[in-house]
């Protein structure tokens, strides 16, 4: 793998890490807003979380496409770290959706 390919891989991996981290932060903001029954803000933050998750996922998909085309990537700790961030953001976003909905149910039950 040449220097440009390594730089390209690093850029894609950092894209995954940054977007996945942003997604988790937005999801946490969404939960905090829902806790205050500010569902408009919660939904806005949740949408931002899902948008960031999609950006991270698309970057991961580009790596998977390279791998499936026989252009293997250099597996290193940074790649593993990026995968960890992506998996955690997906799980956290799914959990955030459930928590937001739970706060909506609580608000509705209070009248």
**Percentages (nearest 5) of helix, strand, coil residues in the chain:** 85, 0, 15
Q: Which of 81, 84, 94, 95 is catalytic?
A: 81
Q: Indicate if 85 belongs to the active site.
A: no
CA distances in angstroms from 9 to 33, 60, 63, 95, 109, listed in the order given: 36, 11, 8, 30, 50
Catalytic residues: 81
């Amino acid at each position: 793998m040449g220097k440009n390919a390594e730089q390209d891989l690093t850029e894609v991996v950092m894209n995954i890490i940054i977007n996945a981290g942003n997604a988790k932060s937005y999801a946490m903001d969404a939960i905090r807003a829902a806790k205050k029954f500010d569902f408009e803000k919660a939904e806005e933050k949740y949408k931002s979380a899902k948008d960031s998750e999609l950006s991270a996922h698309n970057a991961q998909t580009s790596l998977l496409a390279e791998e499936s085309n026989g252009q293997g990537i250099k597996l290193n700790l940074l790649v593993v770290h990026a995968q960890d961030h992506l998996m955690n953001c997906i799980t956290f976003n799914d959990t955030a959706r459930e928590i937001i909905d739970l706060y909506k149910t609580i608000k509705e039950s209070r009248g």
